[in-house]
Amino acid sequence: MKLVRFGDLGQEKPGLVDADGTIRDLSGIVDDIAGDVLTPAGLQRLRDIDPASLPAVGGNPRLGAPVGQVRKFFGIGLNYRDHAEETGLPIPEVPIVFVKATSCISGPNDAILAPADFKRMDYEVELGFVIGSPAKRVSVEDALDHVAGYCIGNDVSERSLQKGGPGEWVKAKSYDTFGPLGPWLVTADEIPDPQGLSLTTDLNGERMQTGNTSTMIFPVAELVSYISKYMTLLPGDVVVTGTPPGVGMARNPRVFLKPGDELVLRISGLGEQRTTIVAES
């Protein structure tokens, strides 16, 4: 299934995308794509519904992030060997886990805000996964059973704020709109191997990033297992899993985002994001 949330900011309704690409309104069935809806039982309930029995959504509604009520939002640093090498940093021995504020989550095509004092904004296409059933100290072998589905994430970062060390990453990556997710959440049964997906980023029509999740240092199963050693992961928690090479700060010359720039992010099987950088007034 492809699950979506559509409508005005803060008033999103739950939906699913049928085989013809039409959004079907789920608001008569569930309140949101969140919490228990993401558990195995909750997803099975949605699978049992005939999409044709649901109201079709007309027009071209705004898409919000495909999961609501996110309690924890994590990122993984330097999780592609070639990205770590391009930054000149050591290859991590264990996953580098950092927090992004949940208030930075935005829709896949929403504008990304550029504050006047942020001069080194950067893009990072990333595979995101959403937890479906509680995970506490799970094994690598069982870890994927706890994943509800996958989506595109853009770990937007203000690089100047990372100079203070790892503890500063939360500030660099948490400004409003710095966490676009979507367009939809593709349930895990449709992505049998999350380690075989291609990722790309285009900036103003020029290809900047090309990668494949097969080159992740710590694959999704290892990340679920590792993080669950230190805290219980709950339905709706989101993790974006690192970015392939080609980020702006590692290019020569460096390329940072500016108002008017247009980004297109794609991951095979997960759709695309199209966002514009807008100066914050």
Question: Could you give the CA distance from residue 17 to residue 30 in angstroms, rounded to a whole number?
Answer: 15
Confidence (pLDDT) at 166: 61
Question: Could you give the CA distance from residue 113 to residue 276 in angstroms, rounded to a whole number?
Answer: 9
Domains (ranges, CATH) in the chain?
2-53 (no CATH), 73-279 (3.90.850.10)
Confidence (pLDDT) at 85: 81
pLDDT by position in tens, the chain (length 281):
999 999 999 999 999 999 999 999 999 999 999 999 999 999 999 999 999 999 999 999 999 999 999 999 999 999 998 888 887 778 899 999 999 999 999 999 999 999 999 999 999 999 999 999 999 999 999 999 999 999 999 999 999 998 766 668 999 999 999 999 999 999 999 999 999 999 999 999 999 999 999 999 999 999 999 999 999 999 999 999 999 999 999 999 999 999 999 999 999 999 999 999 999 98
CB 52 within 8 A of CB 20: no
What letter does residue 48 receive in the DSSP assignment? Answer: T
Confidence (pLDDT) at 87: 78
Question: Could you give the CA distance from residue 245 to residue 222 in angstroms, rounded to a whole number?
Answer: 21
Confidence (pLDDT) at 164: 64
What letter does residue 263 receive in the DSSP assignment? Answer: E
Confidence (pLDDT) at 86: 81
